[in-house]
Structure 1
């Protein structure tokens, strides 16, 4: 019977900790986009970083300008 005096406060502490972690995760936007991370595992080879695409597009545009000159 004396074990109840230990288990009940321990259970309350664990539940309070779990609730605190849940509210921290919601506050820090951990649940905003749940599907993007799952798809990124499948399609990360097809996605280029924006910096790479901008550089390659500008290089193509420069080459097109050079090619158009007489």
Structure 2
């Protein structure tokens, strides 16, 4: 999905969806070539959700003062 224009990228960042934008840009065109739109979006959302949860857990650990 490298066809996203600069304005769309700016809007995604403005909305706080940088994890989603990163997931879209990380998709390998050769691997997703034959996939449907729905499957590609599912991969993007799964990756963005994983990044979101990872950051949330790291923040909780940091605030808990665990070593």
TM-score (norm 1): 0.39
Larger Rg: 1
TM-score (norm 2): 0.41
